[in-house]
Structure formats: C-alpha cells, structure tokens
Structure 1
C-alpha cells in the first residue's frame, strides 16, 4: 500500500500542497483530476522525490524510495542525436516479449533519431522505456496528450496490464473520459488537498465539474 500523509509543499509564499493525505492499494488505478495549477505535477514530483516536501510517504509501511517508481512526465526529454533503439538500450526488462508486443503495436521507427519523432511518437517511446523498468509504482502525468486514437487504446491495454500485475498506477488527464475508461477511483485535487475520491459508480458526478 502506498500512503501519503500530511504532505505539504510551499513555493514562493504559496501553499501548493496543503497537508495532503491519500492511500492507494496495490492493483489500484487511481485517476488524479484537478484544474491547471491544482498541484497534480507537484504531487507526482513529491512522490518521485524531485521536489522538497514535508510529511510522510510510505510504501508497504517503509519510507518510499525513488527506485520503486516509474514516472512518465508530461514532456519527455531525449538527447538530440539518439535513435529510439539506442534510447531503449538504456533500459533492462524482465518482460521482453510483452514489451516487444507493445512496440510492434506502436510501430515506432526505432532506427531514426528521436528528434524527428512527433510528440505522440516520443510519448510512446518514453512509455515503452517506463514499462521496461518494471516498477511497483507507476506515475503517468497526462499520458494521453498528443497520442493518436490507436495509441490511446494501446495505453488502455498497458494500464490494464499494470493492474493485472498488481502494480499501483496513478494517472492524470484533462480528458476525463480516458480516466473513466481506465480508473478504479478518481481523486479530485483542489486547494492543495484531496477534496473527494470518487468510485466507479460515482464517476457520473464528475461530468458536472469543469476542468
């Protein structure tokens, strides 16, 4: 179980996260919903320990370590002159056949330099690298941005695969329908706190909210 207790982040005279509390069970896909500036990325960076915070974050009752997390950021950085194949060579995987299947479906030009990829292709490449890390906690920050229709459905399959492996998945998206399709629960982040957690049977209530 991933437990976030009283997490507080303060930037430039502003509380971005304000004593935030959240518990996520293994095998749970949690959607994170909030307006721009609500603190979604700050929460992800706190989990990934790339931003200072106060409070406590634990995994299976022990302090969370960065190496337990795969983090797909909204914008992914690649060295200018690296091919997709060279990028993936940096990762090792216990699930080569499974990754190979997703790569075939993504149909990426792995011999080409990544700088010539579209934004959607870069997202797919970064996602493949993330999967190869095979971590118990997986954070996806706006993974559907720039991804074509086919890629969205492959993403659905990937997220379901992570769930079947009993992993924790936290995903944010401005496209609320993508969260409806994938999530077990959706947490509403507002004023630096988790305002409410919606279960599947309550997702319809979210249609009335504006983001």
Structure 2
C-alpha cells in the first residue's frame, strides 16, 4: 500500500504539489492522471524517496523509501525508460541491479523472458527502440519480485502487442495482491486497465474514485466500436461530423453520432461491425471536463 499524507513540494515560488493526500491499495491497478504540469512525476519521485518533500509524508507499506535497504525487493519502479547507460547490454543492466540488491542472478533471465527480451539480452541498450527500453524498464521493476510497483507512462512507444502485454501484466500483478500504481496520458487504456483513478491538477487532488464513477462524470454520450477496417470507418465518421479516438488495439470511441448513425455509416461503406456499445460517459471526456481549468499549457490559448 502507498500512503500520501498532506504532501507538499515547493521549488522557490513554484508549488509543484500542494497538500496532497491519497491511498493506493493493494489488489488494484490504480491510475494516476493529470494534465502536464499537474505534479504527477514530482509526486512519484517523492513516494520513491528521490525528492524530499517540503512538508507532509509518503510511505510504501508504512515505510519511507529513503530508509529502505535492498529497495528493489520492496518497491519496483519505472520512471524514465531512457535513463539508463546505453553502452550496457540489457542482461548486464539487469545483472547490475540484481547484484546491488542481493537478488539471485537467475531472476535476470526470468524477467527477460517475461518481458520478451531474451533474444535481445546481449544487445547494447543504446540501439534499442523506445518500446524495447520500456520493456527493459518494466523488467527492472519486476526484478526483485516486489509487492509494490510504480510506473510513469509505461506505454509510451509500445506497439499494440506490447500494450496488450502490459495491460495483462498489470492486471495479473494486481490479482496477485500487489499494489500497482500507473501514471498515464492514455485515457482509453486506463479505462481498460485501471480499477481506480487518482486525478490531480496543479498539484492538488481532484478525484479519487473508481473508473466507472469517474467516467460517469462525462456529460456527452460516446459509442465504442470495433470494425474490420478502423481507418476507413474513422474517415467516414469524421466526415459525418463525429470525433473519434482510436486505441492501440483498434477500439474506436466515437462522440457526436449515436449508435444508429454509426451503424448506418458502416453499412454505407460496406464495413463489418464487431462491437457497438453506447456509453453514457467516457473517461477522456470526464478528464477533460474536470481538469480543464487546471491545464497549464493549453493548445490554442492566447495571452
């Protein structure tokens, strides 16, 4: 379990996190959402003991991470997949982490297999794609088999197969009774992966509730659609005035047209529909409505 109690972090005159309190419980995937500049990364770093809070506290399983010995056995984290020595091989990077935390060497091969990097284990990390670096970072987080796991934007750079792998991994870890805390900007993916959400804006708590409760805040109806040709249907629906968001696995979330109009459009273009599910609110819409006044750098804003 992660407990954050009245956590505050100031940098000079700038308050990055302001009197923030929440609890991340075990057995769930908890999403951590907020616009850029909301204080998410700063909060994660304070939880992990990498930044000292100005006031308040953050503990993992009742302990301050700054006092943990062999920390990877207690909490695993991926904050920045690019923050690794590019001249090392993937296997050497994990061996270094294992040795420094008294983790058996055999565990390195186990996590390499788990994240699908066994064949690339002896390649230098500098030649890895972003998606491969993300997988390596996840392997590092899993290395100590910890009860608490923290991930900051773990889906960046992953292909659809990688996204599905991570989604299933997080669900399995939570089902094993672990605490899984995931920061992400991918609303649709959070809707499919997370059980609960913690939403912040300008360093303050805006919501702490289940995904269903949060999505119900959205005021417009959306429709989720699966089809044989997502790209063509997106073009047709957009031409008809709809707004369409596409998830990495091909799921379309449509706003501005009801299910009947979407079905008619698909029929006109001879496209087969596999799934057509109206929803009263969407996670993305609820997020935009709740955090609109908290966006620090809004596109199209004028001074």
TM-score, shorter chain, exceeding 0.5: yes
CA–CA separation in structure 2 for the residues paired with 1:122 and 1:177? 23
| Cross-structure match for 2:83 | 77
Post-superposition offset of 1:38:
0.3
Q: Give ranges in structure 1 of 5+ residues lacking alignment.
A: none
Q: 1:63 to 1:81 in 2, by over 3 A?
A: closer
Q: Give ranges in structure 2 of 5+ residues lacking alignment.
A: 218-282, 292-303
Counterparts of 1:114-125 in structure 2, within 5 Å, are 114-125=125-136
Which of the two has higher C-alpha Rg? 2
TM-score of the aligned structures, taking structure 1 as reference length: 0.89
Q: 1:5 to 1:74 in 2, by over 3 A?
A: same
CA–CA separation in structure 1 for the residues paired with 2:107 and 2:81? 25
Query: Number of residue pairs matched?
Result: 210
CA–CA separation in structure 2 for the residues paired with 1:140 and 1:70? 8
Post-superposition offset of 1:207:
2.6
Post-superposition offset of 1:87:
1.6
Instruction: Say if 2:30 is the partner of 1:27.
Output: no
Deviation digits for residues 48-69 of structure 1 (CA, Å, limit 9, x no counterpart):
1111202122344444555232
SS of equivalent to 1:161? helix
| Cross-structure match for 2:184 | 173
SS of equivalent to 1:76? coil
| Cross-structure match for 2:145 | 134
CA–CA separation in structure 2 for the residues paired with 1:108 and 1:181? 30
TM-score of the aligned structures, taking structure 2 as reference length: 0.64
Post-superposition offset of 1:194:
1.4
CA–CA separation in structure 1 for the residues paired with 2:50 and 2:185? 23
| Cross-structure match for 1:39 | 39
CA–CA separation in structure 2 for the residues paired with 1:70 and 1:119? 20
Q: 1:39 to 1:139 in 2, by over 3 A?
A: same
Q: 1:15 to 1:89 in 2, by over 3 A?
A: same
